[in-house]
Structure 1
Amino acid sequence: MTTSQALSIINHWLHPHNADNETALLPNDAQEPEQPIKSSSGCAGYQVGTGTILHQQQKLVEQVNEQLNLPTELQLMFDQTLDNLTHWLHLLPAHPQHHCEPAGAVRHALETAFWSVTAMQQIHRDHDLYPDQRRAREPLWRLMAGVAGLLYDCGRMTSCLVVQQPSSKQAEEQPAELSIGQWPAFEQALGSWLQQHRITNYSPHWKQCDTNPEKPLTPEYTAINLLLLPQLTPQAFRNALQPDGDNGTLWQTFISALTGQKTGHGVSQIINAVELARLKSVKLHFVRGEALNQIMKPAKTEGQPETGKDDELKWLEKVISSLHSEDIKWAKDSLLLPWPDSAESENLPEPDILLKQWNQRGWIRPVGNLIIFRRNGRTVIALQPVISQQCKQWLPSGSFAEEYSEESAGESAGESAGEQHDQ
């Protein structure tokens, strides 16, 4: 797709009632050079349905829905869009370098939606409206940001991935009428195509894919989002973003966010936030292996001071150096700290703030899915082995350190799970 074609499609959707824009160029109109194709891992076929795929992402879906906090009518619009997108992408990966696993594309889309909604809620908009009018539109803004994040990368994935008919050996075993060629990525959902041709497994292949996933998406990719928009979103959603009497802010922000192109009354900060949400999903995949680890981390506490790692290390050193000998316990390679007793000092931030900061640094080692658990009637936290080794230099000299097994820690955690704070 050329840049002029991409801009033509964007203009068509920004002004949907303009008769001059009734037809938009499709990617099939552009003659693109042949690109090398890179094979991806194999995926199960039509027997895997949308419900199964989303069930595997249930925890992340729940986090997104919690962040959206939509009334039932709007939640149904988001759910239908998610179902349509999952049916369209099926088990495709997101990129050769990140979210490469089956259904990685759906997971990446959900993570981008989560971070889009999170960022949007910190952005001021509707300045010209009365407070009660702004409050009434809040759910629409959250819905808009969630759907924009959900669909933002789908154009690149559908245009860069090829799903072909089964191998020649498999094709020979099929009737002639099932010689199916290649998945028409812009015309039919992959789930429907697999079902129609009864394909039990397939191997997606990458072509013409930008090898740097941290570069912003180009209009050639984002314009394809608009080609897929009528097939992925319900009409009720498109109507909801164009209410009577609105100056077009919601709709134009949505279209601009999908394409990364600021136009009309679009809110620039939200448009940028969707691209940053995609990048955050990518970067956290490389850092943690999956962005859900970051999504599940506690948010910054109100009143929490801006600190760097050096400050947090100094506070950790103060906590460790103040321990009494009888308080020093180990679980294998993890140092245990009585909590919050060991952090209660006028020279330290509040224990809850310290715990959140250390957890965000990855210094806390959960036991039985808890970051605070009981041992011998006392609440404690466990530090990760690496930071525990660093803490040894700050322990009081000649201190006695009692060791006990991680299994016993897990048992203690399990017995007292109802009494403790979950992460």
Structure 2
Amino acid sequence: MTASQALSILNHWLHPHKDDPKLPVSDAQETEKLIQSPSGCAGYQVGSGTILHQQQKLVEQVNEQLNLPEELQPLFDQTLDNLTHWLHLLPAHPQHHCEPAGAIRHALETAFWSVTATQQIHQDHELYPDQRRARKPLWRLMAGVAGLLYDSGRVVSCLMVQQESGEQWRSFDQPLGSWLQQHRITNYSPHWQQCETNAEKALPTDYTAINLLLLPQLTSQSFRNALQPDRDSGVLWQTFISTLTGQKTGHAVSQVVSAVELARLKSVKLHFVQGEALNQIMKPGKTEDQPKQENDQELDSLKQVISNLQADEIKWAKESLLLKWPDSVENQNLPDPEILLKQWNQRGWIRPIGNQIIFRRNGRQVIALQPMISSECTKWFMST
């Protein structure tokens, strides 16, 4: 359990609602039953900890990708708590993630793919190597929070929650969780209003500009200070603001701005495969922007590498399978190791250690696979 979840659950215990129905946290079919109509998904008065517990596996995967030092992890956790309290059990869009807490699920998926994509982007060219390494965690934090918050302006703009008495949630002024507690509302059904944007197109600036209105409420001063260190040229902060607004201006790293938008689209498109974008880690399938044949080739390449491992070559670091790199893929009629590394990293299969995708262990260069795909790999080498 992450620090974010522990703090949220503690907050829920301190402010109990004995009569409130509890959201199922382990049975996906029960969760689906909460969907009442195309106009909105049912929601109950529950704490942020309960909502995040339902997404615990995904939160852990995001934190694995972030790989933040102890002093930075709370900055992401606090933002996630704030966003969860603000959006509560709202869905993300009529066309995708339209289930209770769908907006939070979509935000976490976008954060995951944002961090994955930006790891391949080179920043801080003007700095010395040791300075660049020191700032790598800040870039990952920036990308994760930008992905987490990127769709928040559209969600609060498109959804309406109203009491029977007619009083409406003021979505820009107060978290939905606080509003429900204030008015002792035990259940509600949000409704879409003026949400005609195509989910598979880039967000219009009408929505991304609203992200800035929510920024002071969803991020802490400590987070904002972290992105504006002393004597910094402002690249981190400018890139963060440009990413939230979708505008490639000033000192912003334009590749990061594009990467976060593409991460959102990836979450949207892959959602339609069994409803979970991260299912693609284990079961890549056809998406509109990548032919199925290419997906099959990537999975077949990984399976070939794993199947050819000898017993003494099967090494683990915690729950991650380690592969000698590039030794494990050479002389196997496979694509160039650099191509494979890029493909596998784009799929979210590779787990960075420290700031590196390739690192040294016992004098050899290795890569680590994410725990979920590592578990899938055991089927291949155990059957040989």
How high is the TM-score relative to the length of structure 2? 0.68
Shift of 1:310: 11
CA contact (8 A) 1:112 1:150 kept: yes
What does the per-residue CA deviation read over 1:47-74, in whole Å, with 9 as the maximum and x for residues that have no partner? x100000000000000000110111111
Aligned to 2:237: 251
For residue 289 of structure 1, the aligned residue among 269, 275, 279 is: 275
Q: Secondary structure at the match of 2:73?
A: helix
The answer on 1:195 being equivalent to 2:193 is no
The whole-number CA distance in structure 1 between the counterparts of 2:215 and 2:133 is 27
Give the residue type in structure 2 aligned to 1:197. H
Q: Deviations over 1:233-277 (max 9, x none)?
A: 000000111111111101000000000001210000001111000
Counterpart among 56, 65, 70 of residue 72 in structure 1: 70
Give the greater-gyration-radius structure (CA): 1
Aligned partner of 1:39 in structure 2 is 39
Note closer, same or farther for the CA distance 1:243–1:371 as it changes in structure 2 (3 Å cut). Answer: closer
Instruction: State how far apart, in whole Å, the 2-side matches of 1:347 and 1:41 are.
Output: 50
Q: Which residue of 2 aligns with 1:379?
A: 382
Q: For structure 2, which runs of at least 5 residues remain unmatched after alignment?
A: 1-36, 285-291, 310-328, 348-371
Q: How many residues are matched?
A: 286
Deviations 1:83-129 (A, max 9, x none): 00000000000000100110000000000001111111100110111
**CA distance, structure 2, for counterparts of residue 74 and residue 113 of structure 1:** 16
Change beyond 3 A, Cα 1:200–1:291: same
Structure 2 matches for 1:303-322, cutoff 5 A? 309=294, 312=297
TM-aligned CA deviation for residue 311 of structure 1: 9.0
| Alpha carbons of structure 1 residues 310 and 108: separation in structure 2 relative to 1, 3 Å | closer
Counterpart amino acid of 1:52?
T
Q: Displacement of 1:41 after TM fit?
A: 2.1
Instruction: Output the amino acid matched with 1:43.
Output: G
Which residue of structure 1 aligns with residue 213 of structure 2? 227
- What are the residue-to-residue correspondences of 1:313-352 with 2, within 5 Å? 340=308, 349=334
Which residue of structure 2 lines up, in the alignment, with residue 165 of structure 1?
163
Aligned match of 2:121 in 123, 129, 141? 123
1:280 equivalenced with 2:278 (yes/no): no
Corresponding residue for residue 107 of structure 1: 105
The amino acid that maps onto 1:201 is N
Task: Tell me which of 146, 149, 165 is aligned to 2:147.
Answer: 149
Separation of aligned partners in 1, 2:218 and 2:192? 22
Instruction: Give the TM-score normalised by structure 1.
Output: 0.62
8 Å CA contact 2:271–2:277 kept in 1: the answer is yes
Q: For residues 258-273 of structure 1, what are the structure 2 equivalents within 5 Å?
A: 258-273=244-259
Matched, 1:137 2:135: yes
Alignment partner of 2:54 out of 50, 53, 56:
56
Q: CA RMSD in A?
A: 3.3
- Paired residues of 1:339 and 1:372 also in contact (CA < 8 A): no
Structure 2 counterpart of 1:237, one-letter code: F
CA-CA distance at 1:219 after TM superposition: 1.1
CA contact (8 A) 2:85 2:177 kept: yes
Q: After superposition, what is the alpha-carbon deviation per residue over 1:354-378, rounded to whole angstroms, capped at 9, x for unaligned?
A: xx99xx8xxxxx9xx755449xxx9
1:339 Cα shift? 5.1
Partner amino acid, structure 1, of 2:160: V
Q: CA deviation at 1:211?
A: 4.5
Q: Runs ≥4 in structure 1, deviation > 3 angstroms?
A: 295-298, 307-313, 338-341, 346-350, 369-374
